[in-house]
Amino acid sequence: MSSILLQVIVSGLLIGAVYALFASGLTLIWGMMNVINFAHGDFVMLAMYTAFVVWTAFGGGPLASIPIAAAVLATIGVLSYFLLVRHVMRGPMIAQILGTFGLALLLRYSAFWYFGSNFRTLPDDILGPPFVFGDIRIDAPRLLAGTLGLVLTVLLHLLLTRTALGSRMLAVSEDATAAQLMGIRPERMQAIAWGLSAASAGVAGALIATFFYTSPTVGETLVIIAFVTVAFGGFGSVPGALLAGLIIGVLEALSAYWIGPVYKDVVVYTLFVLVLWTRPQGLMGKV
Amino acid sequence: MLRRGSAYSAFVAALMTFALPGPAGAQDTVKIGAIYPLSGNAASAGNFSKAAIELAADIVNNAHPELKDIPLAEGQGLPGLKGAKVTVIFADNQGTPAAGQNQALRLITEEKVHALIGAYQSGITVTTSAMAERHGIPFITPESVAANLTERGFKWFFRTTPVAGDFARAYSAFIREQKAAGQKADTIAVVNENTEYGNSVASVIREVFAKDGLNITQVIPYSANTTDVQPQVLQMKEKNPDVVIFISYTSDAILYAKTMKDLNWKPSILIADNAGFNDPSFVSSSGALVEGLINRSSFAIGKPGSVSALVNAMYKKKTGHDLDDPSARAMQGFLTMAEAINRAGSTDPAKIQAALRATDLKANQVVTGYNGVKFDEKGQNILASSLITQLKSSVYIPVWPKDKAVATVQLPYKGW
C-alpha cells in the first residue's frame, strides 16, 4: 500500500472519530426521548466559540477548554430542556421539530450578533508539531480529537449500559410511566440526557475548534454529516454512531482521493441509501 | 346626503394631498438595494463588503473635499437630484441563489428600490440579476466574475469588475515570466469549488493556459463548504505539481491553508484567485500559514495621501481592517451606480440605464486600480484591470506588472 493511500485512510479514520463523537450526543437524545435535536450542530458551534474565548481570554488550550466547554454546554442543554423541550414535547411531532429548529436559529443568529461573522481559528501549533511515523503525518489536534472521540463515545456507551444512572435513563426511554412507578423521575432523567448530550457536543466542539475554523454557521456545515451518521448507525445506538462515523470518514476520504472530492457525497449517500434499504433501522439500531 | 358626501370627498382629497410626496422632481432619497451574504458561509466577506458600501454612501451623502477627484465626494448628496441623499437597503442572500432571488424581489416590489447591486457569489448574481431584468431595474455586480453573467443578453445588467478572462491572462503571463526567470512551472494543478464561480473561472483558466502552452496536469473540483480537504491535498502531494491555483471561498481557503501545513506539502508557486483568500478574516486567521501566496487584486493601498490610501484609512477606522479587494470593488460598483443616477437626474429606471450606458469614469475618478469605468454593449466594464499581488507578512503587496509593482516577487512559495 502506498504511503499516500495509508495517509488517506488514517485521515479518514481521524475525521470519522470526530463525526462519531459529534453524532453520539445526537443519537443519545433520540434514544432517550425520540426527539431529533436540530440545534445539536449549533451546540457544537457554541462549544467552538467557548474554546476560542478560553484561548483569547487566558491562553488556555484544549486541556482547559474541553472541561469548560462541556460544563457550559451541559448548562445550556439542561436549560434548553426545561425552558423549551419539556414544553414542546407535549405538542405534536412537528412542534418538536420546529422547536429545536427554532432553538438552532436562535443560537446561530445570537452568535452572529455577539461574535460577528468573521472566521476565527486557534493557533495552528496549539498542541505542538505533528506526529511523524515514516511517511505518515498525523496532526496533533486531529489525533487528540480522534482518540478522545473514540474514548468518549465508548464511555458514553458504558454509562448508558453499565451504570444505575444509565439503566434509569433507559427505563424512562422504554416506558416513562412505568419508570415513574418504580421511583424514577422521568423529567430529571430527561434533563440529565440533555445535559449529557450537550456536554458531548461541548467536548466535540472544543476538539474540532483545534483544527477547524469557527464561524456562526459552522454547526450547519458539520451537522448534516452527523444526521447521516446517526441514521446510518441506527437511531439511538451509540456504538452504531461510532461504527458509522468511522465508515463514513474512511469512505469519504477514499472516494474523494480515488474518484474526486465532488463525488464523495454521491458514494457516501449511495451506501447510506443501500443500508437503509436493507436495514431501515440502521447498522446497529433496534427494530 | 350629497353635502355629506362631498364634504367626505373633500376631506379625502385633503388627506391625499398630505399623503402625496412633494412636487415632482424634489426627490428626498434615492434607494439602492444591496444584496450580499450577511449570514451563511460567506457572511464574513459579505459584511466587509457591506461596510465598504456604507462608507461609499457616506462619501456620497456627506462632504468629503479631500476626495474631490471621486465624483459626488466633494458635495453632499446628488446635485443632479437637488441634493437628494442615497439610502442603501441591505438584504441578506444567506449564501443561496433562492434566498438571493427572494430578496431581490422583495427589494424591488416592497422596498421599491431604484437600483440594485450585488450579490458577491456569482451563482447568486445569476438569480438576483434575472429578477432585476424581469422588473426593469438597473443592476450592477461589482464583484461577480463568472463569464456567462454578461452573455445572457440582459439589458439592465452591468459589471464593473474585471472578469475571469482578464485574470487568466494575467496569471498566464505571470507564470510564463517566472518560468523564463528560471522558476519551475512545468506542471499546474487547478483546485476549484464547484459552483458558478469556481467552475467558470477554472474553465477560463484552462482555456487560456492551453492556448499559451501552459500545462495543466491536474484539475480538482470539490464541493464548496466541505468538512475535510485532506484527500485533495493528498492528491496534489502525490502528483506534486509545480504550480497550484486555488479558486475557493473563505471557509475552504482556511482549511486548505491549515491542511497543507499539516500534511507538509507545498508547490513552488501557489496562486489564489482572490475570493476567500482576500477575506480579511482569512488573512488574519491564516495569513501566517501562506506567506508568499500569489493573488490578484484590483485594489492596492497607494502612497500616503492618495485617494486609495485616504479611503483605506476611513475604512480601517470603521472596521479595524484594511480595505480588501472584493470590498473595494463593491465600493466602486456602488459609486458607479450613484454617479449614473446623479447624471440621469432622475430615479426613472430607464434614465438610470441610459446614464449607466454613457458612464465614462477616468482612472483618477475611481477608488480601485481600474483604468476607469466604461461599459460595452453587454454591460461589461472594458476599463477594468487587475494586478498580481503577493502576501508578505499578512499584507498583499502588488508585484506585477512591473509598472504597478511596489515590491519584487519572491519565489519559491514559502508557506509557513
Predicted local confidence at residue B211, as pLDDT: 95
Q: Do A213 and B251 touch (CB under 8 A)?
A: yes
Distance in Å, alpha carbon of A222 to nearest chain B alpha carbon: 7
Q: Name the closest residue on chain A to residue B238, using Cα atoms.
A: A4
The b-or-e profile of A119-140 (16+ CB within 10 A means b, else e) is bbbbebebbeebeeeeeebbbb
Q: Take residue B347 and report the three cell numbers written for it.
A: 430615479
Q: Do B289 and A124 touch (CB under 8 A)?
A: yes
CB pairs under 8 A between A and B: 112
For residues B275 and B196, the answer to whether their CB atoms sit within 8 Å is: no
Q: Do B238 and A130 touch (CB under 8 A)?
A: no
Q: How far apart are CA B269 and CA B182, in angstroms?
A: 12
Predicted local confidence at residue B16, as pLDDT: 45
Q: How far apart are CA A111 and CA B178, in angstroms?
A: 45
Q: Do B254 and A253 touch (CB under 8 A)?
A: no
- Give mean pLDDT in consecutive 10-residue pieces for chain B, a chain of 416 residues: 48 46 57 94 91 96 92 93 94 94 96 95 95 96 92 95 90 94 94 91 94 94 90 93 95 94 93 90 92 91 86 94 92 96 94 96 91 94 91 91 86 92
For residues B192 and B199, the answer to whether their CB atoms sit within 8 Å is: yes
Q: How far apart are CA B79 and CA B81, in angstroms?
A: 5
Q: Chain-wide mean pLDDT for chain A?
A: 90
Q: Is the pLDDT of residue A9 over 50?
A: yes
Whole-angstrom CA distances from B22 to B15, B18, B26, B79, B121 are: 14, 9, 7, 18, 39
Whether the CA torsion B224, A16, A99, A52 is positive or negative: it is: negative
Q: How far apart are CA B92 and CA B42, in angstroms?
A: 11
How many CB atoms are located within 10 Å of the residue B66 CB? 14
Q: Which residues in chain B are contacts of A8 at CB distance < 8 A?
A: 230-231, 234
Nearest to B277 by CA among B257, B260, B306: B257
Residue A83 per-residue DSSP state: I
Q: Which residues in chain A are contacts of B229 at CB distance < 8 A?
A: 261
Terminal CA-CA length for chain A: 39
Contacts of A158 (CB under 8 A, 6+ apart): A166
Predicted local confidence at residue B1, as pLDDT: 40
Strands B115-118 and B29-36: parallel
Nearest to B370 by CA among B280, B307, B319: B307
Predicted local confidence at residue B19, as pLDDT: 45
User: Which helix (H) or strand (E) is B217 found in, with range?
Assistant: strand B216-222
Residue B63 half-sphere exposure toward CB, CA atoms < 13 A:
2
Whole-angstrom CA distances from B386 to B169, B230, B399 are: 10, 32, 12
Q: Take residue B71 and report the three cell numbers written for it.
A: 465624483
Q: How far apart are CA A122 and CA A103, in angstroms?
A: 27
For residues A140 and A13, the answer to whether their CB atoms sit within 8 Å is: no
ipTM field = 0.89
